[in-house]
């Protein structure tokens, strides 16, 4: 690859290093390797954690103004190199280049936001009820942070954690997904160019997710673990982190409903449906998984959605005009195939699509009259499938939307302000899109309730995840 940001080395203690073993990274659009990275071990992880602990002792004493300026510098460098990073991202994740460019900007908006917000980690003074004493609080960085991130947003899931951690004075040991290590390593290159001191950021590339993950979650030097990925792995990490009482942030799976009421603007709802469903071929934790459409407009909405879905261009994301890329790997494809087959077996019909095109490419699909017992209604599909269910009343829609152990994102369309208020309050999820299919924004709190996670990323709340409140009591 013709970029200075592409490296096949991991990053520990401020050095780009090789490993005894390596593993290839496959472009899901072509099935070919785009390079190899070191397959680091638990021992390497221990070394990185030690180095992060050592670096923390200095980094926490760098003034917050200087820390924020360095993060601002990362922001500027990412902005300068966004085309290069987007190309790396498309090659390792398969997402269309236009989407990679949007992701780089989105990822970078966390660098920008936290380079400003870092300065506002205010403590407070508290009126004392005890004569002569003075009470106050200060906020201090938690210390060494471990971060584990998934492949579906190879940069944004990292910057959401790294940006607030760095400005708060924490050091970070990051394990990116083995499918997409190159975007993470490009960030390490940029951090080095920006002047982030050695040892403040480490990138462990490894195939041993379980071993490295366990070390990160149990090592006593790590004070906090922040994870984005599946609920099952999140539960394992929480159990492991409990043994040393670490702080945890968990951004886990979703099962987003998208409700279209009779009084909705159907064109806008179709537009929102495409944005909420087909970004990254449906492989996002906030992707719409269940479309609930009110009886009166079911026919019209489904026809317009099918027309729009038929126009989507599928292919290698590096080619111009492509809107939907491949699925990440065989397992991802199998899950999508199984969900479609299961829905059809239980009585759904095909509006459009429904088949594998070739290799990891699946047709953008609309399934009609899906029964509520179908697997697709219960589990995250992570693929380009719109499954349409119908409902009669507002209460029924809310009950159906909430009938899941998850609660990350939800969307609904209505032009009635009172209904908007009622439904927004009645839906059990951390984020609600009202007449929009996109909710992500660095200035707003991203996160889930129920089994979708703990904590928030972005916004002022995203900084709280990386600081401890210390209470100071001054005697008379």
Q: How far is the CB of 433 from ligand ADP (least distance, A)?
A: 22
Residue closer to ligand ADP (CB basis): 210 or 470: 210
Does residue 210 touch ligand ADP according to CB under 6 A? Answer: yes
Burial code (b: 16+ CB inside 10 Å, e: under 16) for 21-46 equals ebbebbbbbeeeebbbbbbbbbebbe
- The four Cα atoms 110, 237, 48, 203 give a dihedral, to 10 degrees, of -40
CA atoms within 13 A on the CB side of 313: 10
Smallest Cα–Cα separation from 71: which of 173, 184, 197?
A: 197
Does residue 178 touch ligand ADP according to CB under 6 A? Answer: yes
Q: How far is the CB of 343 from ligand ADP (least distance, A)?
A: 21
Q: Are 184 and 6 in contact (CB under 8 A)?
A: no
Residue closer to ligand ADP (CB basis): 253 or 430: 253
Angle at 322 between CA 317 and CA 326, to 5 degrees: 50
**Residue 157-176 contact track with ligand ADP, rule CB under 6 A, x = bound:** ------------------x-
Q: How far is the CB of 231 from ligand ADP (least distance, A)?
A: 8
Q: Which of the stretches 159-167, 208-216, 337-345, 370-378 binds ligand ADP when contact is defined by CB under 6 A?
A: 208-216
Residue closer to ligand ADP (CB basis): 32 or 210: 210
Does residue 329 touch ligand ADP according to CB under 6 A? Answer: no
Give catalytic residues, as residue numbers.
251
Residue closer to ligand ADP (CB basis): 89 or 293: 89
Residue closer to ligand ADP (CB basis): 297 or 336: 336
Among 229, 276, 326, 364, binds ligand ADP (CB under 6 A): 229
Does residue 233 touch ligand ADP according to CB under 6 A? Answer: yes
Q: Are 180 and 154 in contact (CB under 8 A)?
A: yes
Does residue 177 touch ligand ADP according to CB under 6 A? Answer: yes
CA 445 to the chain's CA centroid:
13
Residue closer to ligand ADP (CB basis): 175 or 223: 175
Residue closer to ligand ADP (CB basis): 48 or 237: 237
What are φ and ψ of residue 247, in 5° steps?
A: -70, 145
Does residue 148 touch ligand ADP according to CB under 6 A? Answer: yes
Q: How far is the CB of 222 from ligand ADP (least distance, A)?
A: 13
Q: How far is the CB of 173 from ligand ADP (least distance, A)?
A: 13
d(CA 15, CA 443): 33
Residue closer to ligand ADP (CB basis): 118 or 407: 407
d(CA 107, CA 101): 10
Does residue 236 touch ligand ADP according to CB under 6 A? Answer: yes
Does residue 150 touch ligand ADP according to CB under 6 A? Answer: yes
Q: Catalogue the long-range contacts made by 5-8 (C-beta closer than 8 Å, 24 or more residues apart).
A: 5/81, 5/84, 5/85, 5/88, 5/185, 5/186, 5/189, 5/190, 6/35, 6/84, 6/88, 6/182, 6/185, 6/186, 7/182, 7/185, 7/186, 7/188, 7/189, 8/35, 8/36, 8/37
Q: Which of the stretches 98-106, 232-240, 370-378, 419-427 binds ligand ADP when contact is defined by CB under 6 A?
A: 232-240
Q: Are 442 and 113 in contact (CB under 8 A)?
A: yes
Q: Are 39 and 47 in contact (CB under 8 A)?
A: no
Smallest Cα–Cα separation from 67: which of 116, 108, 15?
A: 116
- Interface with ligand ADP (CB under 6 A), residue total 14
- The closest residue (CB) to ligand ADP is 213
Pick out residues in 242-271 that bind ligand ADP (CB under 6 A).
none
Does residue 443 touch ligand ADP according to CB under 6 A? Answer: no
Q: How far is the CB of 383 from ligand ADP (least distance, A)?
A: 12
Q: How far is the CB of 107 from ligand ADP (least distance, A)?
A: 16
DSSP notation for 237-248: HHHHHHTTT-EE
Smallest Cα–Cα separation from 190: which of 141, 232, 155?
A: 155
Among 28, 96, 213, 282, binds ligand ADP (CB under 6 A): 213
Q: Are 326 and 95 in contact (CB under 8 A)?
A: no
What are φ and ψ of residue 176, in 5° steps?
A: -75, 165
Does residue 385 touch ligand ADP according to CB under 6 A? Answer: no
The residue ranges that bind ligand ADP (CB under 6 A) are 148-150, 175, 177-178, 209-210, 213, 229-230, 233, 236-237
């Amino acid at each position: 690859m013709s970029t200075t940001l592409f490296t096949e080395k991991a990053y520990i203690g401020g050095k780009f290093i090789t490993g005894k073993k390596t593993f290839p990274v496959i472009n899901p659009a072509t099935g070919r390797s785009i390079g190899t990275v070191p397959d680091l071990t638990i021992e390497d992880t221990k070394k990185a954690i030690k180095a992060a602990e050592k670096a923390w002792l200095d980094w926490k004493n760098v003034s917050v103004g200087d820390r924020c300026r360095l993060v601002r510098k990362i922001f500027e460098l990412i902005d300068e190199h966004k085309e290069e990073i987007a190309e790396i991202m498309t090659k390792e994740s398969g997402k269309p280049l236009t989407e990679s460019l949007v992701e780089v900007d989105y990822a970078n908006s966390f660098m920008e936001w936290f380079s400003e917000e870092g300065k506002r980690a205010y403590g407070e003074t508290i009126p004392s009820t005890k004569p002569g004493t003075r009470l106050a609080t200060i906020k201090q960085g938690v210390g060494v942070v471990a971060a584990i991130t998934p492949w579906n947003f190879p940069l944004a899931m990292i910057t959401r954690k790294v940006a607030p951690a760095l400005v708060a004075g924490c050091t970070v040991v990051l394990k990116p997904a083995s499918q997409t290590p190159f975007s993470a390593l490009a960030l390490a290159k940029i951090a080095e160019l920006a002047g982030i001191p050695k040892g403040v950021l480490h990138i462990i590339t490894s195939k041993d997710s379980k071993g490295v993950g366990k070390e990160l979650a149990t090592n006593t030097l790590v004070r906090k673990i922040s994870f984005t990925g599946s609920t099952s792995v999140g539960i394992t990490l929480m159990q492991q982190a409990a043994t040393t009482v670490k702080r945890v942030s968990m951004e886990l799976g979703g099962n987003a409903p998208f409700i279209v009421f009779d009084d909705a603007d159907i064109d806008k709802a179709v537009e929102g449906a495409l944005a909420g469903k087909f970004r990254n071929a449906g492989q996002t934790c906030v992707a719409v998984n269940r479309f609930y459409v009110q009886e009166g407009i079911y026919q019209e909405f489904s026809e317009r959605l099918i027309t729009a879905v038929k126009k989507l261009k599928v292919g290698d994301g590096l080619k111009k005009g492509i809107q939907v890329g491949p699925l990440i790997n065989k397992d991802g494809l199998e899950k999508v195939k199984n969900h479609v087959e299961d829905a059809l077996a239980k009585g759904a019909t095909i509006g459009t699509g429904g088949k594998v095109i070739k290799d990891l490419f699946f047709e953008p699909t609309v399934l009609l009259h899906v029964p509520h017992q179908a697997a697709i209604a219960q589990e995250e599909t992570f693929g380009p499938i719109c499954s349409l269910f119908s409902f009669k009343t507002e209460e029924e829609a809310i009950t159906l939307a909430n009938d899941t152990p998850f609660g990350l994102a939800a969307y609904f369309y209505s032009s009635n302000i009172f209904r908007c208020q009622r439904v927004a309050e009645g839906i059990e999820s951390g984020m609600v899109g009202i007449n929009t299919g996109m909710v992500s924004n660095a200035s707003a709190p991203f996160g889930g309730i129920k089994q979708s996670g703990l904590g928030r990323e972005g916004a002022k709340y995203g900084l709280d995840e990386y600081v401890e409140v210390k209470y100071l009591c001054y005697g008379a």
